[in-house]
Amino acid sequence: MHPFALIVSEPIKIDIWSDIACPWCYIGKRNLEGGISSLGDDAPEVEITYHSFELAPDTPVDFEGSEVDFLAKHKGLPAERVHEMLDHVTGVAANAGLDYHFDTLQHTKTLKAHELLHFAKEQGRQLELAERLFRAYFTEGRHVGRIDELVELASEIGLDTGAAREALESGRFAPAVQADIAQAQAYGINGVPFFVIDGKYGVSGAQPREVFARALTQVADEKAA
């Protein structure tokens, strides 16, 4: 290398395993973003990639019942306890600047939403779509399991509707979703959100923004050294 050549550092890769139907995943997303922004001018360049994880793969696309009904059955908890859990996560979300509405949420299978995220990644718009899907699901009460609704959400962030529909109807990104899930199993990930920073550091759960800021600072210092 020429002695005066510039050394261009690679961005820090952040791989996130999450599910659109996971309330803590949206909170974790916000806390990560807050951690990055809190570093100001010292924030390292990052490259974020979302990976698929289905928390409840046996969920029907058109689930009959409320979120309370689903969780009571899925977790075997009394409805009163589920209400307490949802009230708690709604409060945590509010502290992260998110407005959750579990009373209007339409619980559904998230497989097609994950396929759409892979399509959006191919188009360079995955981060925008992840944000749009989370907001649609937790705040707006949109149905993110049906192809027609997903295509509409894709169009709202500038993706081609015809190409998005073809990707979903053909199921061509289904193998990519399963590959993500298999990778999660290989890593021993059994809950989301799960963040892998620079391929070697794992952060489990919706940690406070300070945790993400410290982790990124440490990785950036290691790369600089």
Average pLDDT, whole number, for the chain? 94
- Mean pLDDT on 105-130: 98
Give the pLDDT confidence score for residue 225 in this predicted structure: 83
Cis peptide before 193 (omega within 30 of 0): yes
Note the pLDDT tens digit of each residue in 46-101: 999 999 999 999 999 999 999 999 999 888 989 999 999 999 999 999 999 999 99
Query: Where does residue 75 rank: exposed (0-12), middle (13-18), buried (19+ CB within 10 A)?
Result: exposed
Report percent pLDDT > 70 for the chain: 96
* Phi, psi of 56, rounded to the nearest 5 degrees: -140, 75
Instruction: Tell me the per-residue pLDDT of 139-190, one tens digit each, with 9 for 90 and over.
Output: 999 999 999 999 999 999 999 999 999 999 999 999 999 999 999 999 999 9
The answer to whether the beta carbons of residues 7 and 225 sit under 8 Å apart is no
Strands 46-52 and 12-18: parallel
The residue ranges of every structural domain in the chain are 1-12+24-53+189-218
* pLDDT at 2 (0 to 100): 44
Task: Label residue 13 left, alpha or beta by phi (over 0 means left) and psi (-120 to 50 means alpha).
Answer: beta
Q: How confident is the model at residue 7 (pLDDT cuts 50, 70, 90)?
A: very low
Question: How big, in percent rounded to 5, are the helix, strand and coil portions of the chain?
Answer: 55, 10, 35
